[in-house]
Chains A and B, each alone.
Chain A
């Protein structure tokens, strides 16, 4: 090859590089525009993020509101400021002072101030106000909120609490406008969805779609990249999977996860998506009503705890995607979780099940010779009805004959809240915060917002409280181990932990800047998400 020819080749390569490299780099740079399509598994109905607990309510409003803190969209394990620019903690760990961003406006143009923060948290922390998410997390820890000036608020804690900042950063602890709360009394209506978030609430057609549009005055210049978000309300697994296969939705990151069979179907239908398996920090629970027969009898509760084959439920109902038996999942809670080798030796979790079933049968026979008939309730969402049928089949082996009663989603929650059930076959409970305190204060303590079985054990309350207040990590770990061992050894709890849910999810390959949160509720604001070509 001659020198001139070599030089011509090199020049050509340089020219190509000059065009190709910037184009490639441009692909890595966020681009504005486009609508993200997503879905909710059910119709939210009511939109009050302070007062409601279904995931669909949080999804419907996530991008509309901001919190004082939130999880960093770029690194969801980190708590960073949202409306709060910075904060300080007193030496005794009981006073948190938040300095707020200046110049922030509500979507209706009104100025944001510390008065809005105080109004929101006074509402959430009011003992008379039912706040099953944010309130349930903060009430045990927070004594009160004070407004020091127009841009400064202070939270006084009852004790130094390690989970305080992660709880405050939860997607449920959003700041609402004082003037909107005064005008509407609550946040249930579409008109009350006035926030400071990256998106404005555009439309809510019941049973059909929820739409957000870009907030042009968002307090972080340049964001959001997207023009809007469209959430289709898709009820039922087949409808959801069909929408995914047809390209109607770009993201499936929230409960209910796809099953393996559904993920395989999607993989065959589309090559332009990334499918992955993940935990969604969600526990599969079964509830017994401890205030009504037959489960006001601890022996019957013990029988159910023994009879339920958690391994079979995870293997069949979750297609193996889950961790059976643990009250805490070692993968999520690390050293705070009891080792699974220990958990799997406990009655109820040990395999084979023969001994557990024999003991359970004796307990049922002792109080109900010939067996007992009960109603087994379940909400018709996800694959709950399938799980309920498996639970019924398992209970039949010990003489508990269940008749299935299905509820529409919101009606089911209402029934659980009123105690209008005998046995809830399945109710997944997503953690609000990635902290070991979560599941206990949600489902096991007397005041737990999801303690539907209404069982009150002072020792559980005391151990959970002690662990919550413990700031030394080793002592905290010991406290949680003691608590888990106590619950497992009781064997007659009204809340029965079946296992931790995992599943399959997907995102469209053109969806960039998105990272799943550590809980199913977080990182759904899409403030830094963009669509590539």
Chain B
């Protein structure tokens, strides 16, 4: 209790963000129990205004908006976490290893990173979705491709600092193999940066997924994507504004909470990273 109060005093915004993230996780995990109806169940009258029976109203197909917002939390968190875990992990390993190997491997890899990062992310994501086709899994693949180079570049710069440190020299001096040095010394010392990258990019992944779904290039339209719900809501913005309001609030709260929480994690893990990550 005392530690919690200390934390609250030192990182009040982080705690607030943490609470939001916890609620998001709880909603996602408990969606089957919390949602009054299935996300694709269309048995009700369309365009019903919020009421006791439908607290967030119904959409153009007679689906319960509250249920779709709840199930949307599951989809957003699934996409956000899986894409970030794969993308950031792959990118971090890539950046750390090539930084250690140096030379042509490092130079060549950074040119690949430069090429990918030169493309505007949303354009790259659109092109990938056009090539892969619309599905939730393909959104994850596209996000992994977007996130990997960013993580590679960031962790490479952290790794270069670690490689120059005395204990790394000592490890080389006592004859440790390169892979042992990478596995036992380099990667563990990059973990702070890795954790910050993960926590700060989940919100980015959620925004990209929502953006792709909003323009019709992300998850299939019948999936309860918050971005997709915004697209449907625009068609009835005058008649049924709740169709846009509630998913919009959900996206905003999720991103806000994740950003606050991620910033707080960064500040606690390694204040030197402030302003340089995510």
Contact = CB atoms under 8 A, between A and B. Distances in A.
Interface of A: 237-238, 261-262, 264-265, 268, 316-317, 380, 385-386, 388-390, 392-393, 396, 403-406
Interface in B211-246: 216, 220-222, 232, 234-236, 238-239
Contacts of B62: 316
Given A316-B62, A386-B60, A396 B40 contact: yes
B239 A264 contact: yes
B239 A389 contact: no
A386 B47 CA distance: 14
Given A380-B216, A389-B221, A316 B46 contact: yes
7 contacts: A261-B239, A265-B238, A265-B239, A316-B61, A386-B221, A403-B135, A406-B220
Given A405-B133, A406-B220, A406-B221, A389 B238 contact: no
A386 B61 contact: yes
B42 interface: yes
Given A390-B61, A404-B222, A261 B236 contact: yes
Given A237-B235, A261-B47, A265-B239, A393 B40 contact: yes
Contacts of B270: none
B41 interface: yes
A262 B237 CA distance: 10
A414 to B, nearest CB: 16
A404 to B, nearest CB: 4
Contacts of A262: 235
B254 to A, nearest CB: 24
Contacts of A389: 40, 42, 61, 221-222
Nearest to B231: A238
A375 B120 CA distance: 32
B11 interface: no
Contacts of A317: 61
Contacts of A265: 238-239
Contact of B221 (A316, A385, A393): A385
A25 to B, nearest CB: 41
Nearest to B238: A265
A264 B133 CA distance: 36
B134 interface: yes
A238 B133 CA distance: 24
A216 to B, nearest CB: 43
Nearest to B220: A404
A406 B239 contact: no
A393 B239 contact: no
A313 to B, nearest CB: 10
Interface of B: 40-43, 46-47, 60-62, 133-135, 216, 220-222, 232, 234-236, 238-239
A316 B47 CA distance: 10
Nearest to A237: B235
A386 B41 CA distance: 13
B234 A238 contact: yes
A406 B130 CA distance: 11
Contacts of B46: 316
A142 B216 CA distance: 45
Nearest to B236: A261
A393 B61 CA distance: 10
A316 B232 CA distance: 14
Given A389-B42, A393-B43, 20 more contacts: A237-B235, A261-B47, A261-B236, A316-B60, A316-B61, A317-B61, A380-B216, A385-B221, A388-B221, A389-B40, A390-B61, A392-B40, A392-B222, A393-B41, A393-B61, A403-B220, A404-B222, A405-B133, A405-B134, A406-B216
A403 B134 CA distance: 10
Contact of A393 (B42, B133, B220, B238): B42
A406 B135 CA distance: 10
Contacts of B232: 386
Contacts of B60: 316, 386
Contacts of A392: 40, 222
B41 A238 contact: no
Given A316-B61, A405-B134, A390 B42 contact: yes
A405 B134 CA distance: 7
Contacts of A261: 47, 236, 238-239
A205 B175 CA distance: 68
Nearest to B221: A385
A406 B134 contact: yes
Contacts of A396: 40
Nearest to B60: A386
B39 to A, nearest CB: 10
The 9 A-B residue pairs with the shortest CB-CB distance in the complex, in nearest-first order = A393-B42, A389-B222, A404-B220, A261-B239, A385-B221, A404-B222, A238-B234, A265-B238, A238-B235
A280 to B, nearest CB: 20
A317 B46 CA distance: 10
Nearest to A396: B40
A82 B232 CA distance: 45
A392 B234 CA distance: 22
A316 B48 CA distance: 12
Contacts of A268: 238
A392 B221 CA distance: 12
A125 B134 CA distance: 40
Nearest to B43: A393
Nearest to A319: B46
Among B222, B234, B239, the one with the most A-chain Cβ atoms within 10 Å of its Cβ is: B222
Contacts of B133: 405
